[in-house]
Amino acid sequence: MCIRLVRGLVSDRLLCAAAALNRIHAADVVRQLYCILTQGGVLGAVWPDAMDTCLFLAVFSAAIHDYCHKGVNNDFLIKSRDPLAVLYNDRSPMENHHLVSVCIPQRGEGGGRYSVGP
């Protein structure tokens, strides 16, 4: 089940702009995190009562961590007054964009109320 989830999340659709941030990178991050949490004993030590839920959330977060990344850091976005930096009040614009882009459905090609674009 976990492998199918990762395959579904780690696709070319998830990584838009930066060539270095590709599906291999996303899969590597998911794999490394999974190994640390399960083989390293972190999952059982930190979240003994909710291991399944925490593992799912951690793997999901790792898979989307660079969704539609612009290939520049937050400081650059803020200093260049990028629309994402303005939208998120200069507070972690890329991280906010990754999460919102995955969790809030887009409304068609023309955008809509929730459309934040890549």
Over residues 39-96, the pLDDT tens digits come to: 988 888 988 888 899 999 999 889 888 888 888 899 999 999 999 999 999 899 998 8
**Residue written as token pair 């200069």:** 90
- Give yes or no for a contact between 59 and 22, defined as CB atoms under 8 angstroms apart: no
Side-chain-facing half-sphere of 102: CA atoms under 13 Å: 23
- Mean pLDDT score across all residues of the chain: 77
pTM for the model: 0.62
Residues in the chain: 118
Task: Give the Cα separation of 35 and 30 in Å (integer).
Answer: 9
